[in-house]
Amino acid sequence: MFNLILKFILIMLIIIGSISLGLIFEGIDRILTAKMQKRVGPPILQPFYDIRKLMIKESIIPKYAIKWIFELSPIISLTVSILILFYIPIVGKSILGGSNDLILVVYLFIFPGLSIVLGALSSNSTYSNIGAQRLVINMLGYEFPLAIACFVPVWLVYKSGFSNIFSLNTIYTHNIWGLVNQIGIIGLLIEIIAIFLIIAGELSKSPFDLDTADSEIAGGALAEYSGRNLAMLNLSEAVKIIAISSLFIALFFPWNIQSNLIIMFLIYILKLFFIIFISLTLIKTVTSRFKISKLTGIYWGYVSLLATIGFLLVLF
């Protein structure tokens, strides 16, 4: 009974903590972006104000939409985004970790985007349909280099003779930087560059924000969403920021040398800030949106090439 109560408390902490951290980091991202562009920027709690405002507004359903799919999509997106965090070790073992949870997590990352695609297509809106098609192209692009990046630590753990090589808990407890030589370290650094670009694409941030391009398709896949439905999609995006960053922390930046949980959590926050600043704030500020015709070529060409070169250097 005590274990069940403890697990329930941990689940609630992850739910509340991931939403809060995601919104706080979004606020920090807005402030840093504004400062880098010599603007004042909004207050750090602006994402919380936006969610509160959306929650008290009416959710408008398009006249010819498939209502149950349109309203179910934000729920699925938010639920799966939170569920992913239950399988990722943060400052210790994950809550629902198993022997092949890395494979499950990679598959689960497809569902938030896929649910948005289904919701957008069910709205029968031209802008939403275009945004959904672009989102599918984006997802097809980054899934291949994502798989390569996730396989690198699996290979290192396997070559070192450990069992449960697809377990995030196993990878998390072994510092992969100590399992390679100098050439392998170069390979891991190249892999990290690819990871930053993958995270930007996974979160549909500039220069990969083709599915929501406001200046082109008026919000794209999210054009018809409003009120509580849009609030849940925004919360899903905030949680997904924490989830994808936490995944790569567990794979490439575990480095938990402290036994104090508070210190380990503070170190985890610093790691989150580093990854989010590079993959979201910096890349978004210094780049402009790609053309849709170049998106797949960039992922399957340059990003996949980076991920492959990094893996080959680690391999040899």
pLDDT, tens digit, for every residue of 264-286?
888 889 999 999 888 888 887 77
Q: What local confidence, expressed as pLDDT, does residue 82 receive?
A: 92
Distances (CA, A) of 308 to 50, 144, 145, 301: 40, 10, 8, 10
Report the C-alpha gap between 226 and 153 in whole angstroms: 41
The amino acid occupying position 22 is G
Which residue has 């390979």 as its token pair?
187
Tokens of 268: 């985890």
**Both structure tokens of 143:** 């899934």
* Separation in Å, CA 312 to CA 151, 287, 304: 12, 29, 12
Q: Whose CA is closest to 192, among 90, 89, 84, 279?
A: 279
pLDDT reported for residue 64: 81
DSSP annotation of 177: G
Containing H/E element for 7? helix 2-36
Q: In the chain, how many domains are there?
A: 1
Q: Which residue has the tokens 């985004």?
A: 81
| % of the chain surpassing 90 pLDDT | 19
Nearest-5° Cα angle at 136, 199 to 299: 45
For the chain, where are the alpha helices, taking DSSP H only? 2-36, 46-55, 67-85, 101-108, 110-122, 126-159, 168-172, 182-202, 214-217, 227-252, 261-276, 283-286, 292-297, 304-315
**For the chain, what percent of residues have pLDDT higher than 70?**
94
- Rounded to two decimals, the pTM is 0.89
What residue numbers bound the domain in which 65 lies? 2-315
Reported as a single tens digit per residue, the pLDDT across 225-273 is 888 888 998 899 899 999 999 999 988 887 665 567 788 888 889 999 9
